């Protein structure tokens, strides 16, 4: 069975290598996104979608959003995904509110258990 993701650059085609070039240029010029752990950063490609992104040892994802390298958010409770401006969603659980707060959406506060 073929893996869904790969870090093997030999599996990247011309298009994916060009996308990686843009990612690395953005990383060099802009730095990694705020709150993106810098430990164990590697390029990765989703072999099914063709998306190329950076990931780290905490499985965080950084992708190009237009001209900017930004963190890709994923709600661990309901699975909603997106960049910060697209990440707002109808909370299904207090965990959703917490994930949106971590994404920097100021109107959502992390659940405190109170």
Distance CA 48, CA 63 (A): 16
Amino acid 108: pLDDT: 55
Distance CA 16, CA 84 (A): 24
Q: Two tokens at 12?
A: 């990247």
Nearest to residue 104, comparing CAs of 90, 83, 81?
83
Instruction: Summarize pLDDT for 51-91 with one digit per residue, the tens.
Output: 999 999 999 999 999 999 999 887 777 777 878 777 665 66
Query: Would you say 44 and 60 are in contact if contact means Cβ atoms under 8 Å apart?
Result: no
Residues 6+ apart with CB under 8 A from 36: 56, 60, 62, 71
Amino acid 40: pLDDT: 97
Amino acid 53: pLDDT: 98
- Domain spans of the chain? 1-74, 75-114
């Amino acid at each position: 069975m073929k893996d869904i993701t790969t870090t093997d650059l030999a599996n990247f085609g011309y298009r994916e290598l060009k996308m990686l070039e843009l990612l690395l240029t953005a990383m060099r010029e802009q730095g990694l996104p705020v709150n993106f752990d810098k430990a164990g950063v590697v390029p990765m490609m989703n072999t099914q979608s063709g998306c190329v992104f950076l990931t780290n040892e905490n499985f965080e994802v950084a992708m190009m959003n237009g001209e900017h390298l930004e963190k890709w958010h994923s709600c661990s409770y309901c699975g909603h995904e997106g960049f910060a401006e697209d990440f707002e969603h109808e909370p299904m659980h207090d965990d959703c509110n917490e994930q949106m707060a971590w994404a920097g959406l100021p109107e959502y506060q992390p659940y405190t258990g109170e």
